[in-house]
Structure 1
Amino acid sequence: MSPDPVPRPLDHLLERGNPESDALVLRGERLSYEGLRERLAWLAGWLASLAEPGARVASWAAKGEATCLLPLAAARAGLVHVPINPLLKRAQVAHILADSGASVLIGTRARLATLEEGDVPAACCLFDEEEAMRRAKEGAPLSLPSDRDPKELAAILYTSGSTGRPKGVMLSHANMWLGAVSVASYLGLGEDDVTLAVLPLSFDYGQNQLFSTWYAGGSVVPLDYLFARDVPKACARHGVTTLAAVPPLWVQLTEVEWPEEAVAPMRRLTNSGGALTVELVGDLRAQFPQAKLFPMYGLTEAFRSTFLDPDLVDRHPTSMGGAIPFAEILVVTDDGAIAASNEEGELVHCGPLVAQGYWQDEARTAERFRPAPKDSEYGGMAVWSGDRVRRDEQGLLYFVGRRDAMIKSSGNRISPQEIEDAARATGLVAEAVALGVADERVGQAVHLVVRGEGDAAALKAALARELPNFMQPRSIHWRDSLPLNPNGKLDRAAIASELTRELEK
């Protein structure tokens, strides 16, 4: 049966689950669908008393009750949720708060304590998550599901760009609702499924762990793990059937022991945030012989674009597959034509999963969000990904290369410029170039090439204060001079080539 293409307000996601069934399993507490609906009503009512419709409410916390419920509670209250990656530090958080114009920030007490004067907009109220839930229970609930227009803005997800600070992708109720329906459909999720949510809820892939499972009436177990071995322990404890991860985490998970009680219930493994290697596919197949493996490709700007049918993984382990439900994926040549079989072109995503653009950034929106090609069935606005792909005779897509300079490390999209700006801001270097170097475990490792007379230890310490862990350079390479191109700019290609030769010695 085809998935229902009619979008609804996001807060309706919880309406499908059995009232007595587990919806959310937190540390020390299990919430049924009935209990979660009650908490949602409390939180939505309290948020509505704090801000006018359309205001932005941000969250900066680990996977607790508040962060899991905020996307739906903000939607019911007519507000716009802005989830912030809990790994980010105060400089990135300050940018997101200012750029989004957040009226409310809910976070863990320890994280909020790191913010300094000037980091928080004057009109933004701060609440730690425990206080937020306590106040919510004291107010008037919004118990009835909302009648919001599915086209309304529901969330802004910040993602790194290759040329500067994170930019906010605007997602509507319809974007996220149809994303949940699509994924629940092609994964075959049901009421008896248990999803272990290990990915950050600030990512579209991480959020969808909640949304697709709740749409199907299943149970979600959020996990903030410290070590890879924590994951199989949680899978065994909760009878997990569905596990989503990114390639570097899968590598770690294949290196730890999996007890039989963790392996036996597993029905499906899903991957995004980077391609699986042939070797990793083999390792996962050996570890989970009965589980279906779903390689996927996605864009925050269009949520998710493709998946590979598990029955095809062994024969086509490097393929991106084909379009997910509600997505139209075209391969477009440089002259605007639809590419022939095995001809390289740009991946263009059309259809109702396409986001509304970048928050308050018309210039960058115009670069990425452009009218769909004339041959599109959906028409309207499309996401021109910048990624180069080809489609074979069977219709299967294969990744060829990335047009921009983004670094992909441990599933994170990292802006080279953001690292370079942080390095120069220390005053310890005059020039800086951040590069991604191929690495088996993390995809790409960050290397920083700098020119200056500063102290190496001081630079490393300064970057540790200003940048999150996943942006930290693995190595810093000092130079007396850096090559320039004919336009007088730093020659990134020459610097990368020189670094590669150095590392290969």
Structure 2
Amino acid sequence: MIPLDPVPYPIDHLPLRGAPDDVALIDRAGTMTFRDLEIAVGSLADWLAGQGLAKGARVATWLPKTRVACVMPLAAARAGLVHVPVNPLLRRAQVAHILGDSGAALLVTQGARAATLEPGDVPKDCRIVDEAVLDLQRDGGPGPSDADPDTLAAILYTSGSTGRPKGVMLSHANLWLGAISVAHYLKLDRTDRVLGVLPLSFDYGQNQLLSTWVAGASVAPIDYMVARDVVKAVERVGATTLAGVPPLWVQLLEADWPEATAARLTRLTNSGGALTPRLVRGLRARFPGADIYAMYGLTEAFRSTYLDPSLIDSHPDAMGRAIPFADVWVVKPDGTRAAPGEAGELVHAGPLVAQGYWRDAERTAQRFRRVPAALGSGAGMAVWSGDTVIEGADGLLRFVGRDDEMIKIAGNRISPLEVEDAVLAGGEAHEAVAVGVPDARLGQAISVMLAGDAAGEAALRARLRTALPSFMQPGAYLWRHELPRNANGKLDRSAIAAEVRSWSAADEEGAQ
């Protein structure tokens, strides 16, 4: 088991944890040993250093899970730059926002993706480079950096409950200690092979690379289209570990698993939504030899809690306890700690807490605040999750509800306002409110109440197919001449959400 060393290092030191001839990465091109990985990191860092970028400049990647995408988090850090991974599922409008907001000086992507960008989408001083020109096999690059662990290493963009995606600032220490923590409590070792199905732009997906490598294990990143692709990949790479979100587990349980293939998996990890008792039973039956880890987290603090696999059958509703290096409390509105069985907000402090939101002091001040003096911890800055939880007499935390209006689809956190902006951009409607409604397969789906003429729906759907990624497409529209308003004349979002969900439920019952 990886020891819990609380002293962080620059994140580009991580490959040194594997023996030189151990396999670090498996993909369709073959394998990379830790020696190969070190050469690749040095090669890419050397190339980046030669681009004339200022220290701390932002380098964005908009790529599927290629070798460049996997190596860049370490290479950018080694070159003294800040990595900004962009979800490959995003379309040009979302990519343009991230490039502009981060002030990216360089975008590494592929020709076909770059061709979708239009004038004005890329900042004036940002160059676009096709990953095909990058050489990862040139030996002699710079060695591990001597960066201060508190230096900014990455900006991960996540949707907020209001406005466009915001950039969460992560230091070398955040990434390093997150990798150590996860590798420790998952008990990863050099014999493990981790199948990476989650986007590398997610903290959960990126940590799979880092926690695997810090354990000296092998990671096999894949881009998949259907659940059957995942089944085949487990067999092809001999995977022992698979991470997912609830909608993926639903799809995988519906897939055909050869018994020997299912038996390869010894560890399943879940985040991005709670596992239901039904899902736990299904996973137990399909993967009888696998430990199941239920986890809870938020990008602003990476991960807060995990449930030991020995407890998941008896406590499937629990979020568990704090992960290593995390200080987690349930806090009442008056700043005091809630008693067992008493609801409060989950507050996370400690070295995993991010440095705030990139160039957004106002939202940083709202979410990142000092630990209340009443807790007497002296733990400094904390992130206030906005999630209501309860700590039971057994010491386990349980989720009660989310205070914001985020929509979560297949692990993707979606801002309602971002969907609404896209809906209104074409003029088919003059007001719109996006609401998350329950969906058995995806966790949630998007329904929109909008003011306008329903005759424009076909044109609206056609336009959004090119404007939004697939996971942000609204599934249903409820047209009104006017939308409900409160006494102040503002849109009554609570009333609208209640009506949309009631309508959605009634429509589903009628369909059955």
Q: Specify the TM-score bucket, using the shorter chain as the normaliser.
A: over 0.9
Deviates more, 1:259-268 or 1:412-421: 259-268
Letter matched to residue 399 of structure 2: F
SS of alignment partner, residue 229 of structure 1: helix
> What is the RMSD of the two structures over their aligned residues, measured on CA atoms?
1.2
Q: Establish whether residue 95 from structure 1 lines up as the match of residue 94 from structure 2.
A: no
Distance 1:313 1:353 in 2: 25
Distance 1:290 1:378 in 2: 42
* 1:424-482 superposed Cα distances (whole Å, 9 cap, x missing partner): 11111110000000111111110011111361111111212211111100112211221
SS of alignment partner, residue 165 of structure 1: coil
Q: Establish whether residue 439 from structure 1 lines up as the match of residue 426 from structure 2.
A: no
Aligned to 2:219: 220
SS of alignment partner, residue 352 of structure 1: coil
Alignment map for 1:181-220 (pairs within 5 Å): 181-220=180-219
Residue 379 of structure 1 and its aligned partner are, at CA, apart by 1.4
TM-score, normalised with respect to structure 2: 0.96
CA contact (8 A) 2:267 2:292 kept: yes
Q: Which runs of 5+ in 2 are unaligned?
A: 507-512
Aligned in 2, Cα 1:237/1:340: closer, same or farther, shift over 3 Å?
Answer: same
- Partner of residue 76 from structure 1, selected from 60, 75, 78: 78
TM-score, normalised with respect to structure 1: 0.98
Letter matched to residue 450 of structure 1: L
Distance 1:376 1:172 in 2: 26
Deviates more, 1:461-470 or 1:206-215: 461-470
Residue 87 of structure 1 and its aligned partner are, at CA, apart by 0.5
SS of alignment partner, residue 279 of structure 1: helix
Distance 1:237 1:92 in 2: 34
Aligned to 1:52: 54
Quote the sequence identity (%).
Answer: 60
Aligned to 1:238: 237
* 1:242-288 superposed Cα distances (whole Å, 9 cap, x missing partner): 10000000100011111133222211100000001110000000011
Aligned in 2, Cα 1:3/1:82: closer, same or farther, shift over 3 Å?
Answer: same
Aligned in 2, Cα 1:66/1:376: closer, same or farther, shift over 3 Å?
Answer: farther
SS of alignment partner, residue 421 of structure 1: helix
Alignment map for 1:375-454 (pairs within 5 Å): 375=375, 377=377, 379-453=379-453
Aligned to 1:309: 308
CA contact (8 A) 1:239 1:261 kept: no
Distance 1:109 1:29 in 2: 23
Letter matched to residue 124 of structure 2: A
Aligned to 1:11: 12
Aligned to 2:509: none
Aligned to 2:259: 260
Aligned to 1:147: 146
CA contact (8 A) 1:422 1:466 kept: yes
Q: Establish whether residue 477 from structure 1 lines up as the match of residue 478 from structure 2.
A: yes
Query: When the two structures are aligned, how many residues end up with a matched partner?
Result: 502
Distance 1:284 1:137 in 2: 41
Distance 1:141 1:317 in 2: 51
Residue 141 of structure 1 and its aligned partner are, at CA, apart by 4.4
Q: Which runs of 5+ in 1 are unaligned?
A: none
Distance 2:266 2:55 in 1: 41
Distance 2:355 2:249 in 1: 32
SS of alignment partner, residue 113 of structure 2: helix
Distance 1:117 1:110 in 2: 16
Distance 2:121 2:505 in 1: 42
Distance 2:343 2:175 in 1: 30
SS of alignment partner, residue 340 of structure 2: coil
CA contact (8 A) 1:330 1:347 kept: yes
Residue 137 of structure 1 and its aligned partner are, at CA, apart by 5.2
Aligned in 2, Cα 1:325/1:289: closer, same or farther, shift over 3 Å?
Answer: same
